[in-house]
Chains A and B, each alone.
Chain A
């Protein structure tokens, strides 16, 4: 497997140095692995800190900026960051109005953010946490670590970030974030495994003519393997899996997300099928976003995330945002 890297050990630091050069509006601490809005802390405003393993770019550092995250902590590839990073980030962004940790529901992320919250609170920073767990492929919750956080992370960070930007207090930003998560569900499909720089070979073997259903975003195998399907068939299956669980009774936000190696040409074609299924099921679509946002290195495939939106969530979704990977308005 050919990769555009120097050595596996420095991929995260190299990417951060490159990010610093491309985005002078961010403060990138390469050594301590914290990416912060240059204008933080913003007086009187709640700050949003997220983080997770690297390999999901642009998540999370690509979502740092006005209207979204205040800071992000990138870990090693597919490995949760450590508490020191989160405490450092929280201290850098706290204006006194408190900090919301946006945490994807994986054992490692939860444990490290919990430890960080305790340490930050010891330093007098008010911390709230929201867990993102939107992946319907993990059904057997009693016998698993619970549902994984995937595409809904983007909805939570964008919408809660807009609420913080408006100057809402911490409890309010937290409850909005929680509402977005509760109303969001995702389902993902892989057409190929991904290759981590450290391992250098695919994380699982997928024969030609096979696809993997119900994947997460860490190159872990999914729930089920099947013979290759068309975009139309995958859309039917993925949207129905989400709708079975979400059962929306109003308009939805749609994220058609690429896993990293699937071209936009295919993602837009897939989106056409997703919109068709939603139409057939009588689900109105309020907004749609298509692109590679919550990725799994070089995995080919896609995920569908739906969020049942109300008026407030839609307004916050439409609010201006200015980050490396997501920007609109103003």
Chain B
């Protein structure tokens, strides 16, 4: 049960293929959540994107953690569409860019890079924590990753659950106003899936 001390490109590839499997498994649930306060396609779109990510990683085998994330981010931007494509694509690309081109990184370095990636998402989407978006899972996860993978996963899952009583202020759910209250945010939920996949491969 000891976590790896350094994370190489193979680790990052495993993370994203595990995430792709989780997104595929949970796609219907994501779409159901989106149907309550959005337009019922989050699962479908994320599945399309992560299927493309897994295929690209299989074909290209990028050599560094940064290159793995950059490739995955580009795939998401080119295949997902909607807001999720640019936002998740930016998250991975900017996190990857922050990791640079070293062949191995530490969890601390990843935590720091992820904070950069999450900040880029916040800037692109013009959202802040509490707006009932993916940031509500990602910000606490990035903060807790400095402590451990397990802490990051718990923080993301708690953050996603904590979107239930919030009123949406960004994205399509915001059109509902008060009626968005009482539903878990689909974007925060898919974000928690990605962080859970990270914890899974680090075990």
Contacts and interface: CB of A to CB of B under 8 A. Distances in A.
Interface of A: 53, 75-84, 106-108, 111-112, 115, 137-138, 140, 143-145, 148, 196, 198-199, 203-204, 216, 218-221, 223
Contacts of B165: none
B174 interface: yes
Given A83-B78, A84-B78, A107 B41 contact: no
Contact of A199 (B40, B45, B177): B40
Contacts of A80: 81-83, 85
Interface of B: 31, 35, 37-41, 44-45, 48, 77-87, 124-125, 167, 169-172, 174-177, 179
B38, B40, B86: most-surrounded residue (chain A CB, <10 A): B40
Contacts, number: 109
B82 A221 contact: no
A198 B79 contact: no
How would you classify the secondary structure of chain B's contact residues: helix, strand, loop or mixed? Answer: helix
A38 B192 CA distance: 46
A196 B40 contact: yes
Contacts of A115: 77, 86
B45 A79 contact: yes
A199 B45 CA distance: 12
A198 B175 contact: no
A140 B177 contact: yes
A106 B41 CA distance: 15
A143 B167 CA distance: 9
Given A82-B85, A198-B31, A218 B39 contact: yes
B40 A198 contact: yes
25 contacts: A76-B41, A76-B81, A78-B39, A78-B41, A79-B82, A82-B85, A106-B83, A106-B172, A108-B86, A111-B124, A112-B85, A112-B86, A137-B175, A140-B177, A143-B177, A144-B177, A145-B170, A145-B174, A196-B41, A198-B41, A198-B44, A199-B31, A203-B35, A218-B172, A223-B175
Closest 5 CB pairs of A and B: A108-B82, A108-B83, A144-B174, A111-B86, A107-B83
